[in-house]
Amino acid sequence: MQGADILGIRAHVERLLVIQAQTGDPNNQSEETLLLKSLILQKILRGVLEIRQACNKIDLELAYAYDVMKREQRREAFIFELFNLANFAQLSTFYTLEPFVRQHNQFVMSAIFTTTSGSLGTTIATLSKLYAHTAKADHVAPPKVLANMVDGWPVDTENMPPLVNRFLDSEAIDSKGTRREELFATWKTRYHVDASKKGELCGIKDKRRASIGLLSNRILLLWSLRTCVQDFDYDLLALIKLVKEHPAEQPGSVHSYSNSSSCSANEIEVVRLLNIESEVNELIGLKQNNINNARRDRLNLLVLEKALEGSLELQAASDKVDDELNYNYHVVLSSLLASRAKWQQWIYNLNFIQSGIMGIVAGRLYLSRWSWAGDKQFVISGGIGTGLTTLSILAMHGFWRKVDTGPNSLAETLNLHPADEYRFSPFVSAFLNDVPPGSTDGKTRREILNDAWRKNRVTTMNLNRTKTLEALADMPSHKLDTIKIATNRNVLLESLKKDLESFQFEVLELLRTTE
């Protein structure tokens, strides 16, 4: 009913429910019922389209911010490589010259080279650290050519479509504030962003330069906003279930529609899954005979209603996968990659600094003719360097992150039997457990997905091991995520999302046939 409030049709929904209650028939065919349902479905469809409009706009902002951030990350990685290359180059140069001049009994010159190399190593490593703290991306403001697609304004939830705005201003069940207020509270708690201050909302429209941290936070806020907007799909799905008609036929019934030569295999699957085979068959008959009457209007309305319900069921499942993908990309994987890059460069710099300091000390000792003490400094420096290099090798494999989410959409797809709250809806499960059109081996979509993942080796992990599957699906037995697990999880979630969204094309075929 809250969804009806947002759409501005609560009175119409209540009137329809009253009529259905008075007649005791949810399939009441009176003219008033048809008009009410037409209006309700029209509003629901508008809500669906406005959600897609808002999500598409956010997706463009996300894509642009992500592109700018990746460009800056590549630039910084290149410059860090130059710093490291410069340090290795000066080390190899001076450490080659030192023994050469010592062979010619030029011990003072050797000591000077040692001191110089140490000074350069320390200076270059320090400059690398300073660059890491001051580096910013250039030309971050969206160019004029993208003005009609990307605006770069602060992520303040404004400029949303009207119905989406009303959804954000509504209160969720068991909530003390609006969804917008709850979203802002989450931002303040999790990302330390005060939404009342525009300057903290990571806008880039008027910025010439921006740090990776700001771009990363903008991506997180946009992703969070998108997830919140997509929740409207669930309200619309609940509303359409409240007012829907119930076909008289039972699942599994076979009608002549299934054998019609004018219908594609995709359409046959859709009407079977939606359980409207007899109704669609009758509608096509009326259409072919060019009969326009109230019965045809009611059947058209029923097909639209069921198609919209099925689409929303699959869209809600796709939204969930999308939410998991975004979280896995921009929180789990992003934090793991950032930790690895940070620690790798920190270890490099620490190694160069310690070898530089030891080199300066050793050079000074050599100049004072304390050769034994100078040699000892190099022995100590070599030991420290070996230890830090070992740490660097370990850091190349990435770090670990504690799992802070429940089982994802892969849990049911991989047949791991998660708790009911983490399963797909019955309709989505039926879609995945159905044999797709054109199948020659009788395998369901779920089985085809699993076979394709294993046969094509889409992951770098062994999908025949139960522990691997549990890690990818975030089952309770899995405690720590790694870069390898997060990367492979993304691959499988992307594939699953694509399969779920294929239902939209089948529904479109059905509507084109029956319109």
pLDDT of residue 472: 93
Greater confidence (53 vs 341) lies with 53
pLDDT of residue 491 exceeding 90, the answer is: yes
Q: So what's the pLDDT on residue 380?
A: 86
User: What digits encode the pLDDT tens for the residues 281-325?
Assistant: 888 888 888 887 778 888 888 888 888 888 888 888 888 998 898
Q: How far apart are the first and last CA of the chain?
A: 30
| Cβ count within 10 A of residue 271 | 25
Do residues 2 and 10 touch, judged by C-beta distance below 8 A? no
Are the beta carbons of 197 and 297 closer than 8 angstroms? no
pLDDT confidence of residue 251: 37
Structure confidence at residue 145 as a pLDDT band (50, 70, 90): confident
pLDDT of 260: 45
What's the pLDDT tens digit per position in 1-48?
888 888 898 898 888 888 888 876 666 667 888 888 888 888 888 999
Cβ–Cβ under 8 Å, residues 411 and 324: no
DSSP string, 243-302: H----SSPTT---GGGG-TTS-HHHHHHHHHHT-HHHHHHHHHHHHTT--SHHHHHHHHH
Q: How confident is the model at residue 248 (pLDDT cuts 50, 70, 90)?
A: very low
Structure tokens at 345: 């460069």
Percent of the chain with pLDDT over 70: 94
Mean pLDDT rounded to a whole number for the chain:
84
Q: What pTM was computed for the model? A: 0.74
Residue 76 CA from chain centroid, whole number: 24
pLDDT digits (tens, 9 = 90+) for 385-428: 888 888 887 777 677 889 888 999 999 999 998 998 899 989 89
Q: What is the pLDDT of residues 50-61, one digit of tens each?
A: 999 999 999 999
- The pLDDT, as a whole number, for residue 273 is 83
Confidence of residue 262 (pLDDT cuts 50, 70, 90): low
- Whether the pLDDT of residue 252 is over 60: the answer is no
**Per-residue pLDDT tens for 122-134?**
888 889 889 888 8
Nearest to 270 by CA among 296, 304, 241: 304
Mean of pLDDT values over 268-288: 81
What is the torsion angle, in degrees rounded to the nearest 10, for the CA atoms of residue 65, residue 68, residue 73 and residue 75?
Answer: -170
Cβ 431 vs Cβ 273: under 8 Å = yes
Show Cβ contacts of residue 502 under 8 Å, excluding neighbours closer than 6 positions. Answer: none
What is the rounded CA–CA span in Å between residue 384 and residue 397?
21
Give me the residue spans of the domains in the chain: 2-247+255-514
CA angle 98, 102, 103 (to 5 degrees): 120
Can you tell me the distance from the alpha carbon of 310 to that of 306, in angstroms, rounded to the nearest whole number?
A: 6
413 vs 454: CA distance, rounded Å: 13
Give the whole-angstrom CA distance, residue 281 versus residue 285.
Answer: 6
**Calpha distance 333→326 (Å, rounded):** 10
Q: From 115, 131, 118, select the one nearest 82 (Cα to Cα).
A: 131
pLDDT (tens digit, 9 = 90+) per residue, 92-122? 888 788 777 777 778 788 888 888 888 888 8
Dist. CA 359–CA 378, nearest whole Å: 7
> What is the predicted pLDDT for the residue at 245?
63
